Chain A
């Protein structure tokens, strides 16, 4: 009897693993196919049955893809834009979160609700006027246009406020007695303790804007200003059926972020469970 249950639980475990492996393979196969295709010769593309290992490794597909579109430039654009947005959001969020968590003044709570309400407004609702305003400011097809509208968002403010509120009030009173102003208190005492919270929300802000698609698609015009996702999108539509180049470009775009993820996994998973809200 005992033997039987042990046996059946072992069978169950094996079935579970089999199922999980099948799903895992499904997750990975498209990436392997991407890589395999990126090394194929054009003549091998349409072979039937599909060939997983090309007879000859065409590394020059990557060179060709880099020639067809300036992926280095796209990378620089994406890095610059995403870095500035993240930095901006961290600064504006620290300042605002500090106020909402630790300073009392009349009207604060109403203001906080107004801040909160910006979260329920989808970008789509405001994108047309946003486009007109940014154009009016002379920022169409510029870095300012890509960065400045996003240097403050409610989500990091709320996240950091939550964190600042957990710190004991005594800390502040002690600092006050020593004649420490708000800015110095924030800079010298709160920020060092908030480092883990900042890195979590910073990573998420970075990832969120790294993949931003709609706004850069709308606000950029020239190839030089395109960010990585938009640059790849035009590459896809321009190269049409040149799948070997398309896949080489996709690998160029995918590999660095996957590598970063593999090295900093714990941070990513922690971030998802801590922030939860970001899709």
Chain B
């Protein structure tokens, strides 16, 4: 008798639970539907389409459309100009990231000494970060002006250095853009590093001091290891953002600079797609770019497993 009762009760409970689950499911679907629709139409379908396009000859201007298989990929991978563009991008990343890292870490360390005026300095350093990249690029075009009137050459002149062609010189166009990029982004990484430094508990330093560690040893043995997750994050974002760099380059050197010295991957993609309207081919380039970013992220992750210390 008791057993039957129990059975009935649990069956009833079971139905209740099922109903609850079903209600939860439909409520969830209702709540998720706006984002799911946007993601589907504007992210998932475009990815599938991009892959399909990358296998096609698809020129918007000539309305010429046909399946060409991997030809678009082969076109880029056997094209010396693609490698020049890739090299330009790597150049940007390889110069920008270490420069940025050293300066921002150095400044964050200086600011972290419980200094008077910390928030004042931080405020100032952050101004380029929040201002418009296009406006900033505009003023730097003017600063780099090689004719008289250019501030950059005037400053060089004060140190007795002869004037440079800056954005008009194939050797200097890229360094000029890197300089602007470092200048623009400094404040951001300083804030990130400062937050990381302030999270390191004082006891570690006290312990190190008791063991007789000097300032350098404290930095080397305490600060750097405990900061490594942040450093890893900054480097990873630096690499990803370097491969996506576009605005300052497009504004300062719209055609990719003298002798294409500033044509980076993203600008090349933009030109192929929206100047020449070669949508099929450009889609292949987009996938190559994506693959490069994924590979770098993977490599970085495996390197970091060995070198990043979590508390």
CB contacts (< 8 Å) of B266 on chain A: these are 124
Inter-chain contact B127/A258, CB cutoff 8 Å: yes
Residue on B nearest A260 in the bound complex, by CB = B130
Complex interface: stretch among A53-61, A163-171, A261-269? A261-269
CB contacts (< 8 Å) of A48 on chain B: these are 148-149, 154
Residue on A nearest B106 in the bound complex, by CB = A19
Q: Is the interface of B mostly helix, strand, loop or mixed?
A: helix
B282 within 8 A of A: yes
CB contacts (< 8 Å) of A214 on chain B: these are 246-247, 270
Inter-chain contact B127/A122, CB cutoff 8 Å: no
A113 within 8 A of B: no
The A236-270 residues at the B interface (CB cut-off 8 A) are: 236-237, 243, 246-247, 249-251, 253-254, 257-258, 261-262, 265, 268-269
The A113-163 residues at the B interface (CB cut-off 8 A) are: 115, 118, 120-122, 124-133, 148-152, 157
A87 within 8 A of B: no
A28 vs B134: C-alpha distance in the bound complex, in angstroms?
17
Residue count of chain A within 8 Å CB distance of chain B = 92
A16 vs B269: C-alpha distance in the bound complex, in angstroms?
44
Inter-chain contact B138/A133, CB cutoff 8 Å: no
CB contacts (< 8 Å) of A103 on chain B: these are 24, 27-28, 31
| Nearest Cβ on chain B to A221's Cβ, whole angstroms | 11
CB contacts (< 8 Å) of A121 on chain B: these are 43, 47, 290
Cross-interface CB contact of B149 among A31, A45, A233, A254, cutoff 8 Å: A45
A66 within 8 A of B: no
| Nearest Cβ on chain A to B24's Cβ, whole angstroms | 5
A279 vs B240: C-alpha distance in the bound complex, in angstroms?
10
**Interface size, B (range):** 35 or more
Inter-chain contact B47/A229, CB cutoff 8 Å: no
Inter-chain contact B110/A19, CB cutoff 8 Å: yes
B50 within 8 A of A: yes
B123 within 8 A of A: yes
B75 within 8 A of A: no
| Nearest Cβ on chain A to B85's Cβ, whole angstroms | 13
A95 vs B293: C-alpha distance in the bound complex, in angstroms?
31
Inter-chain contact B31/A133, CB cutoff 8 Å: no
| Nearest Cβ on chain B to A88's Cβ, whole angstroms | 8
CB contacts (< 8 Å) of B241 on chain A: these are 279
B111 within 8 A of A: yes
CB contacts (< 8 Å) of A149 on chain B: these are 38, 41-42
Cross-interface CB contact of A213 among B113, B134, B269, B286, cutoff 8 Å: B134
B176 within 8 A of A: no
CB contacts (< 8 Å) of B110 on chain A: these are 16, 19-20
| Nearest Cβ on chain A to B71's Cβ, whole angstroms | 17
With A27-B183, A128-B273 known as contacts, the answer to whether A111 contacts B128 (CB < 8 A) is no
A161 vs B184: C-alpha distance in the bound complex, in angstroms?
32
B141 within 8 A of A: yes
CB contacts (< 8 Å) of A261 on chain B: these are 126-127, 130
B143 within 8 A of A: yes
Complex interface: stretch among B1-9, B187-195, B203-211? B187-195
| Nearest Cβ on chain A to B133's Cβ, whole angstroms | 6
User: Residue-by-residue, is B29-62 near A (CB-CB < 8 Å gives 1, otherwise 0)?
Assistant: 0011011001101110111011001000000000
Inter-chain contact B25/A47, CB cutoff 8 Å: no
Inter-chain contact B251/A133, CB cutoff 8 Å: no
B156 within 8 A of A: no
B91 within 8 A of A: no
A48 vs B151: C-alpha distance in the bound complex, in angstroms?
10
CB contacts (< 8 Å) of B126 on chain A: these are 261, 265, 268-269
Cross-interface CB contact of A243 among B42, B142, B290, cutoff 8 Å: B142
A7 within 8 A of B: no
A49 vs B127: C-alpha distance in the bound complex, in angstroms?
27
| Nearest Cβ on chain A to B59's Cβ, whole angstroms | 12
Given A47-B148, A228-B132, A249-B135, 6 other A-B residues pairs in contact with their CB atoms under 8 A: A19-B110, A20-B117, A105-B25, A115-B35, A150-B42, A237-B254
CB pairs A–B below 8 angstroms (5 shown): A129-B45, A214-B247, A217-B250, A250-B135, A257-B131
Residues of B within 8 A of A (CB): 21, 24-25, 27-28, 31-32, 34-35, 38-39, 41-43, 45-47, 49-50, 53, 107, 110-111, 113, 115, 117, 119, 121-128, 130-143, 145, 147-149, 151, 154, 183, 186-188, 191-192, 195, 233, 237, 240-241, 244, 246-247, 250-251, 254, 266, 269-270, 273-274, 279, 282-283, 286-287, 289-290, 293-294, 297
5 tightest Cβ-Cβ pairs between the two chains A and B: A129-B49, A129-B46, A46-B149, A152-B38, A126-B46
